[in-house]
């Protein structure tokens, strides 16, 4: 899976914060404290609560950064999220779990339609945040590597 750490998918990166509201199933892009775009999202198949271990189907909650751009994978492009952070790793270690990883904002699975995965009506990822293919292309153009992301309940 070719991906690049520390390289902006867009040289400009015109937003300064990404906010995910899990209950509302929205992802907002902010610039200067103002929302510039809002997207409907799908989450992990077990979306309630904070991700605690690999395979739990939960989407993490907390403060992270976009730390990479994935050009080719099983999904139509992706932005890598810096999960697990130090707190997540410590918490998982104390509980005796692997915290998991590879949490991303991504498009649809390659060769699959939004309708086939139930996008817009079901949570279908393994813990990632999913948008449509058109939307992930837009996100990649607007969100630079290093941009903070806040994922809330």
The tens digit of pLDDT for each residue in 91-131 reads: 999 999 999 999 999 999 999 999 999 998 999 999 999 99
- What's the predicted TM-score (pTM) here? 0.89
Residue 142 has what pLDDT?
96
Residue 1 has what pLDDT?
42
Asked whether the predicted pLDDT for residue 11 surpasses 80, the reply is no
Going by pLDDT thresholds of 50, 70 and 90, the confidence category of residue 7 is very low
CA gap 144, 40 in Å, rounded? 20
What class has domain 3-152? mainly beta
Contact 137, 108 (CB under 8 A): no
Listed by start position, the domains of the chain span 3-152
Q: What pLDDT, in 10s, does the model give residues 21-67?
A: 999 999 999 999 999 999 999 999 998 888 988 999 999 999 999 99
Going by pLDDT thresholds of 50, 70 and 90, the confidence category of residue 14 is confident
Asked whether the predicted pLDDT for residue 10 surpasses 80, the reply is no
Identify the residue whose tokens are 């079901």: 122
The Cα-based distances of 107 to 39, 94, 130, 149 in angstroms read 12, 33, 6, 17
Average predicted confidence (pLDDT) for the chain: 90
Residue 3 has what pLDDT?
41
Pairing of strands 62-70, 3-5: antiparallel
135 by DSSP, 3-state: which? helix
């Amino acid at each position: 899976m070719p991906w690049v750490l520390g390289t902006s998918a867009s040289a400009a990166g015109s937003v300064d914060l990404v906010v995910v509201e899990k209950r509302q199933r929205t992802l907002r892009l902010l610039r200067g404290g103002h929302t510039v775009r809002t997207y409907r999202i799908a989450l992990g198949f077990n979306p309630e609560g904070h991700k605690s271990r690999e395979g739990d189907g939960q989407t993490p909650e907390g403060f992270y950064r976009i730390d990479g751009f994935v050009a080719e994978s099983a999904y139509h492009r992706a932005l890598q999220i810096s999960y697990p952070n130090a707190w997540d790793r410590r918490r998982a270690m104390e509980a005796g779990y692997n915290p998991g990883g590879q949490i991303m904002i991504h498009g649809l699975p390659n060769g699959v339609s939004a309708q086939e995965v139930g996008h817009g009506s079901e949570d279908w990822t393994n813990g990632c945040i999913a948008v449509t293919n058109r939307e992930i292309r837009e996100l990649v153009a607007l969100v630079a590597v290093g941009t903070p992301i806040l994922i809330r309940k």
